[in-house]
Amino acid sequence: MAQVFLHIPREVHQTVWTQLLPCHFRSEKAGFMYVIHRSQDEVEVFEYMNWYLIPSNGFLHLSRYHFELTDETRARVIKRAHDLGTSLVEFHSHAGRWPAAFSASDLLGFQEFVPHVWWRLKGKPYLALVVTRTSFDGLAWLTDPRTPQHMDGIVVEGSVLTSTRLSPLKYNTYDQ
């Protein structure tokens, strides 16, 4: 299995974490990164191109423990990736002091959203990251929209930040 790394500039990393994890955490925050994908010697590399923080009116539901995007927001994000010819990286935040891992509702949401994005972007890989104040976890769908693998890390100007790898890979309740 190939290793998976997201490469982002330091200032982008700082911006994303600051926007997703404000001092006063009232609700989860979410955004999408548009990335260029390349394979290089058993390593899947995703290079930062652009960042989009979802505004408060882009959510159908938003709370401290759950969010749901509006249909318009989902369509806008996917269309932009299509127009740019990029893959998408979903980011969202979790409150609390425990290590980062996707929640059960996050994993259930992937069952619908990842295949839709995969189809709309003609098989381009999809990544998802959940961030906390102390860590992050990430999943990558590289070969099909139903089989994720763990991300290995984020590369920020040569430094590698490693994923907690705490999220389960088997989450599709229809297959169990």
Domain at 103, CATH number: 3.40.140.10
pLDDT in tens, 54-82: 999 999 998 877 899 999 999 999 999 99
In this structure, is residue 73 part of a structural domain?
yes
Residue 34 belongs to a domain: yes
Total of domains in the chain: 1
In sequence order, the β-bridge partners of residue 164 are none
Question: Are 22 and 29 contacting, i.e. CB atoms less than 8 angstroms apart?
Answer: yes
Q: Is residue 61 part of a domain?
A: yes
pLDDT the model gives residue 172:
53
> What whole-number distance in Å separates Cα of residue 138 and Cα of residue 80?
22
Per-residue confidence (pLDDT) for residue 174, from 0 to 100: 45
pLDDT of the residue at 175: 47
> Does residue 170 belong to any structural domain of this protein?
no
For 34, counting Cβ atoms within 10 Å of its Cβ (0-12 exposed, 13-18 middle, 19+ buried), the class is buried
What amino acid occupies position 118? W
- In tens, the pLDDT along 3-57 reads 999 999 999 999 999 999 988 878 899 999 999 999 988 999 999 999 999 999 9
173 belongs to a structural domain: no
Q: Is 168 domain-assigned?
A: no
Please check whether residue 171 lies inside any domain of the structure.
no
Amino acid at the residue 84: L
The span from the CA of 89 to the CA of 4, in Å, is 12
pLDDT digits (tens, 9 = 90+) for 89-147: 999 999 888 899 999 989 999 999 999 999 999 999 999 999 999 999 999 999 999 99
Decide if pLDDT at 176 tops 80: no
Q: Residue 16 and residue 37: Cα distance in Å, rounded?
A: 20
At residue 23, the pLDDT reads 85
- For the chain, give the DSSP string: --EEEEEE-HHHHHHHHHHHS-SS--S--EEEEEEEEEEETTEEEEEEEEEEEPPGGGEEEE-SS-EEE-HHHHHHHHHHHHHHT-EEEEEEE--SSSPP---HHHHHHHHHHHHHHHHHTTT--EEEEEE-SS-EEEEEE-S-TT--EE--EEEETTEEEEP---S-S---TTT-
> Is position 53 within any domain?
yes
> What distance in Å separates the CA atoms of residue 44 and residue 38, rounded to the nearest whole number?
6
Q: Which range marks the domain in which residue 155 is found? A: 3-162
